[in-house]
Amino acid sequence: MIRIGQGFDVHQLVEGRKCIIGGIDIPYQKGLLGHSDADVLLHAISDAILGALGQGDIGKHFPDTDPAYLDADSVKLLEHVWEIAKSMGYRLGNIDSTIIAQKPKMAPYIPQMVELIARVLEADPSQVNVKATTTEKLGFTGRGEGVAAQSVVCLQKAAL
Ligand SMILES: Nc1ccn([C@@H]2O[C@H](COP(=O)(O)O)[C@@H](O)[C@H]2O)c(=O)n1
Ligand SMILES: C[C@@]1(CO)OP(=O)(O)OP(=O)(O)OC[C@H]1O
């Protein structure tokens, strides 16, 4: 059986925070604001997996009112989501994601993001695609006020 899920997330860019995207700490004068480390890409991917499983979203599994998730490492959150997927008998088919940001430049860091995501999802890097786009200076991403990410995931379950 094949299940498809999609995820979308946005975090504000502010001074005094780290810019962690796809599990990689990207050097930049601003960072992403959130209850956790605000890793917008891993949140979109986590939501896509939970969507494919019909298991709600990361806000349901990791409430932003719970101090346990304050400054949480989103790699750990994705690992937890992947444990749910495995417990339901799924493995990764493929994943495609887009980071929407005017700055910083993502391209140099994308290979490291792909390696990390593939490792967490126990997949080959060829099953994971990460892209980036600006919005040509339009909108909140174009003004550099925030970063958005979207992801589509295909999960496969072995037939019994
Ligand atoms: N934050 C970003 C945005 C884009 N890129 C790369 O630049 C290429 C051109 O982007 P356009 O928005 O003009 O299509 C694109 O192919 C991305 O690979 C980036 O590295 N970081
Ligand atoms: C990850 C959680 C939990 O720390 O907080 P944030 O970092 O604010 O991220 P968001 O994308 O709003 O989603 C879910 C939250 O519950």
Average pLDDT over residues 73-78: 98
Query: Residue 106 is part of which domain span?
Result: 2-157
pLDDT tens digit sequence for 114-138: 999 999 999 999 999 999 999 999 9
Nearest atom (ligand 1) to Cα of 110: 20
pLDDT tens digit sequence for 38-71: 999 999 999 999 999 999 999 999 999 999 999 9
Which ipTM did the prediction report?
0.93
Confidence of residue 160 (pLDDT cuts 50, 70, 90): low
Specify the number of domains making up the chain: 1
Say if residues 113 and 23 touch (Cβ distance below 8 Å).
Answer: yes
pLDDT of 139 strictly over 70: yes
Q: Which of 17, 32, 62, 151 to mutate to test the pocket of ligand 2 (most atoms within 8 A of CB)?
A: 62
CA 7 – CA 127 distance, rounded (Å): 17
pLDDT tens digit sequence for 2-18: 999 999 999 999 999 99
pLDDT of 159 strictly over 80: no
For ligand 1, atom 3, name the residue with the nearest CA.
133
For ligand 1, atom 15, name the residue with the nearest CA.
133
For ligand 1, atom 13, name the residue with the nearest CA.
134
Confidence of residue 34 (pLDDT cuts 50, 70, 90): very high
Domain CATH for 112: 3.30.1330.50
39 is in an annotated binding site: no
Kindly give the residue spans of alpha helices, DSSP state H, lying in 70-150: 74-87, 110-120, 139-142
Mean pLDDT of the chain: 97
Residue 130 Cα distances to 48, 98, 125, 154, angstroms: 14, 6, 10, 14
pLDDT of residue 90: 97
pLDDT of 36 strictly over 90: yes
pLDDT of 23 strictly over 80: yes
